[in-house]
Structures are given as C-alpha cells and as structure tokens.
Chains A and B, each alone.
Chain A
C-alpha cells in the first residue's frame, strides 16, 4: 500500500518517473502477461513444495529422528543467496535458462517453512484427542485424515501463507535467468533506465503478495470454525 502512495507521489516529479501513457499502452500485452507469469511461477512452486512437504512433514512428525537432518538440509537450501542459486541452477544440465530453474529454486526455498509448519501442526493435535480416537476404534489412517490433518490444517495453511509471500518476492529475481513474471519489468526497467517499468513491477509484486496473504488468511480462518465461535 505504502509503495502505491509513494508511486503516486513520484508522479508529480514528471513523466519520466511514472509514465502513465506507457502503462496504458503496454497494459494488455506486457503488464498482464507479466502478472499471469508471476502468479504461475508462484502457484506452481508452492504446489510442488506442498506436495513434497506434506508427506515429509507427516513422516518426520512420526519418526522424530529424521527431523534434525531434514531441518538441516532444508535450512541449508534456504540460506543460499537467491541470485547465486539461480545462476548455479542454470549451469545444471537439463535445467538451463527459463522458468524451470526458477521453480526449482522457489520450491527449495519453501521447503523449510512448509515442513516445519506441517510438523508443528501435527504436534499441535492434543494427545488425548488422538487417544480417544484410537479408543473408539478409528484406524491409524482414519485418525490421520479425520482427526490429525483437519486439526493441523490451520497451522499448515499459516505456513503456506509465509511460503507464498516469500516466493512471490523472490520470484521477481527469477527474471534474471529469463523466468518471466513481474521481475522482467523490473530488470528491463533497470537496463533501459526506465523507472516506470521498475515501479509498476514492484508495486504489482507487492500487491500480489498482500492479496495472496489476505486470501490465505481468510482460508485459515475458514478452516478453524471451532476457534472462531465464542464461549457463551
């Protein structure tokens, strides 16, 4: 929001900083595709990361010994500087320039947060709730799907929120290796010394992150009706 206000303020400095004509001329064939590309990168990355993290987190929450090594590896991935990570992936045979390398890096970055939250979510399920479930004859599978996952889901979604916001931010750098998305506007803006592109890219990336955060927050609330209702 604040960056939006800032960009409006910049407008008064002259057409060179924020060229509205450029924006209206390139809206449909440059800006919109960049937004779609960005959403695509982020969405695909979060989805793949989730597919990996959910089973990993569940297994790790059961076999506790596996947790420290998993945290170590995902923590290591998380700490690689993004630009270096992208550059490195490009050199890997079969990856090369383009969205594929970006997605791999974004997935790697989200694993730590996602796995941690899956484990925290599973841990948050009260022991006596699982015990009662077993005592009534639910199978381990039924306990996982009917008791543990529903109770862990809000914490898992909270992890997805953090991962998504992080990914939307880092994805802009992916344009450096031709990954597409809003980063492309920013990078070409820098190289052609055209601030409008930079501002549009930055504002839209921020807006996207805020929107994603709010919708996931709404989902998180929706998934926890039992906590929303008040004691009477």
Chain B
C-alpha cells in the first residue's frame, strides 16, 4: 500500500506549490491513475514516491513505512519506473537495457537471460529478433514497450508508469492497454499510472486521482463513481459531457440481466456478449432497432437487450449517486 499524507511540493525559487496537500491511499494490486491537465503535477507526485523528488511537506508511506526509511537508490531498485521520456540507454542493447536492475541486484546470468526473453515476449517483441538490437533501431512505440519491460524486470511489487503509451498511435495504444490489463490480471502489481488522457484513465484505472492546476486533488474514486457523480465543475468538465456514455463503456453486455428472446430474434441485430454497453448502444441505434439479440461465443442466443434497459440503468445510477 502506498499512502500520501499531506504531501506538498514547492520547487526552489517558486512561490506556488505544484503539488498541494495530497492525501490518498493506493491499495495493493490496484492500478491508480493520476490524471489531469498538463502541468498539474502528475509527474512530480509520482517521482516523490521513489524519492527522485523530495516533498517539501508531508510524507509518503509504503506498506506503513515512510519511504525515507531506506536509501533512495535501494528504494528505487525495488520500485519499477518507466519514465515519461522513455530514456533507454542508447549504448546498450535491448537485452542489456532490460537487464539493468537485475544486474544491479546481482542476479546470475542465466536467470537474467531467461527473464529478458520472457519480458520481451510479454510486451510483444520477438526475443530472437530484438534482444541484440540497439534502441536507435526500434520505433518509438517499440522503445516504449522496452521501457515498460525494463521497469518490470526485477519483478518489483510497485510500478510507476509515466504516460507509458504516450508515443504510440491510437490503435497500437489500445492493444497495449488491453495487453497490459491482461498482464496485470496475472501479476497483480500495485501500479501508479500517469496519463492526461481521461479515456485511458477510465480504461486502466481501478481508482482515479484527478488533479487540477496547482496539484490539488479534485476527486479520488473509482471510475464508475467519478463518472456517475463528478464532485465539481472541474471534474465534470474534465471527464467530458459524454460521461454517461463513458460509464456505459465500463460495463459489458454479459454483466446485464437480459430479456428472454420470445422466439422473434431472427430480424434483430446481433450483439456479442463481450461488447461493452456503449458499443452495444451504438450498434442498436445504428441498426435502427429497439432491441438486439445477445449471442455468446458459440453463436448461441443468450437473450435480448433493449435500449430501454440501458437507458433505465444509466438514469438510475445518476439518480442514486445524486441523492446518495
């Protein structure tokens, strides 16, 4: 668990803090996304966790211990960090880049080699083809993946990832996000993830910490709660006017209670049960239908889903949150 306790940071020579009285907890195994407009102090907040930056006030606890309990270098070897600018070592091969922390921790050679190949596989780069290359021989997106692999190398329980998918096109980014979420299911790390893209935040985060100008925490909660009930003008405009639709994108058709088919499903549009509600709604509207037949993988009809059901669900959640 990572706990921010009244953390503030004012850079020397500056009058105003860039991070202001930050207090919140990140639970083990969760992805906490720090999100907010450019310059709101996301990177600064993140770098105070592994003490690349020391807070001016307050403290950060890791598993109940202040992070100042051990030396900065020792702390950093046990926290994976993928920096915003990637920062691969140009003079070292991809394999050596990934092996950086395991080498510092004196792993034996064979174990390092095995780990490097495993990680390259994990981030979707063929080890045989890429391990011996230099960073200059990789595309920006491939470098970014190596940066993520390097951060994961020594299997640290905590990972800090500063806009790790910033340098890739939307399609690849989407794929990397999916891959990363799949990996996280297996490895269950405590992850602090920085982005300024609210859609990425909603998709990746178990919790969102929305920061505003001056490094003030505007809201800290699950994406569902934040989308249903933004606590301020700032949050509601930051998450966007389409927040109801965004919330639908968090739910899957398979999570819904479906109506029975009544045997009239032949001329209705078909929806895979793995689609999210937002896409399902879009398909229904596009097909000009009130209802659609939900099918599972094996093409078996599971029931029907109506626009009315989705509408009721959205409205209900809004109302609940409002009067909570």
B-contact bits for A136-175, CB 8 A (1 contact / 0 none) = 1111001000010011000000000000000000000000
Whether B134 and A136, one on each chain, are in contact in the complex, defined by CB atoms closer than 8 angstroms, is no
The A169-189 residues at the B interface (CB cut-off 8 A) are: none
- Smallest Cβ-Cβ distance to A139: which chain B residue: B73
Alpha-carbon gap, A232 to B73, bound state (A): 37
A-contact bits for B87-114, CB 8 A (1 contact / 0 none) = 1111110000000110010000000000
A129 at interface, CB cutoff 8 A: yes
The A93-137 residues at the B interface (CB cut-off 8 A) are: 126-129, 131-137
A5 at interface, CB cutoff 8 A: no
B77 at interface, CB cutoff 8 A: yes
- Smallest Cβ-Cβ distance to A230: which chain B residue: B137
Q: B79 → chain A, closest Cβ, in Å?
A: 8
Point out the residues of chain A lying under 8 angstroms from B89, CB to CB: 129, 132-133, 147
Point out the residues of chain A lying under 8 angstroms from B76, CB to CB: 134-137
A63 at interface, CB cutoff 8 A: no
* Chain A interface mostly: helix
A25 at interface, CB cutoff 8 A: no
Whether B136 and A137, one on each chain, are in contact in the complex, defined by CB atoms closer than 8 angstroms, is no
Residue B135 contacts which of A134, A139, A226 (CB distance < 8 angstroms)?
Answer: A226
Point out the residues of chain A lying under 8 angstroms from B317, CB to CB: none
B145 at interface, CB cutoff 8 A: no
Point out the residues of chain B lying under 8 angstroms from A126, CB to CB: 87, 90
A92 at interface, CB cutoff 8 A: no
A-contact bits for B122-144, CB 8 A (1 contact / 0 none) = 00000000000111110000000
Whether A151 and B104, one on each chain, are in contact in the complex, defined by CB atoms closer than 8 angstroms, is no
Whether B136 and A138, one on each chain, are in contact in the complex, defined by CB atoms closer than 8 angstroms, is no
A interface, how many residues as a size bin?
Answer: 20 to 34
Alpha-carbon gap, A137 to B104, bound state (A): 8
B52 at interface, CB cutoff 8 A: yes
Query: Contacts A135-B50, A136-B150, A137-B74 known; A128 to B136 CB distance under 8 Å?
Result: no
A229 at interface, CB cutoff 8 A: yes
Whether B83 and A131, one on each chain, are in contact in the complex, defined by CB atoms closer than 8 angstroms, is yes
A231 at interface, CB cutoff 8 A: yes
B-contact bits for A192-208, CB 8 A (1 contact / 0 none) = 00000000000000000
- Smallest Cβ-Cβ distance to B86: which chain A residue: A128
Point out the residues of chain A lying under 8 angstroms from B4, CB to CB: none
Q: A187 → chain B, closest Cβ, in Å?
A: 46
Point out the residues of chain B lying under 8 angstroms from A13, CB to CB: none
Point out the residues of chain B lying under 8 angstroms from A227, CB to CB: 136
Whether A131 and B73, one on each chain, are in contact in the complex, defined by CB atoms closer than 8 angstroms, is no
Query: Contacts A137-B74, A137-B77, A226-B135 known; A128 to B87 CB distance under 8 Å?
Result: yes
Alpha-carbon gap, A211 to B24, bound state (A): 66
Residue B134 contacts which of A135, A139, A142, A229 (CB distance < 8 angstroms)?
Answer: A229
Whether B104 and A138, one on each chain, are in contact in the complex, defined by CB atoms closer than 8 angstroms, is yes
A225 at interface, CB cutoff 8 A: yes
Whether A132 and B134, one on each chain, are in contact in the complex, defined by CB atoms closer than 8 angstroms, is no
Q: B213 → chain A, closest Cβ, in Å?
A: 25
Whether B81 and A128, one on each chain, are in contact in the complex, defined by CB atoms closer than 8 angstroms, is no
Residue A136 contacts which of B47, B86, B92, B104 (CB distance < 8 angstroms)?
Answer: B104
Residue A129 contacts which of B73, B87, B137 (CB distance < 8 angstroms)?
Answer: B87
Alpha-carbon gap, A231 to B91, bound state (A): 15
Point out the residues of chain B lying under 8 angstroms from A138, CB to CB: 73, 100, 104
B75 at interface, CB cutoff 8 A: yes
List of 10 A-B pairs having minimum Cβ-Cβ separation, nearest first: A132-B87, A137-B77, A137-B76, A128-B85, A128-B87, A226-B134, A135-B81, A137-B73, A150-B91, A132-B83
Binding site for B on A (CB under 8 A): 126-129, 131-139, 142, 147, 150-151, 224-227, 229-232
Question: 17 other contacts beyond A129-B89, A136-B100, A151-B90, with CB at 8 A cut-off?
Answer: A127-B85, A128-B83, A128-B85, A131-B83, A132-B86, A132-B88, A133-B100, A136-B104, A138-B73, A139-B73, A147-B89, A151-B91, A225-B134, A226-B90, A226-B91, A229-B134, A231-B137
Binding site for A on B (CB under 8 A): 47, 50, 52, 73-78, 81, 83, 85-92, 100-101, 104, 133-137, 147, 150
Q: List 19 A-B contacts (CB under 8 A).
A: A126-B87, A128-B87, A129-B89, A132-B89, A133-B100, A135-B81, A135-B83, A136-B104, A136-B150, A137-B73, A137-B74, A139-B73, A147-B89, A151-B90, A225-B134, A226-B92, A229-B134, A231-B136, A231-B137
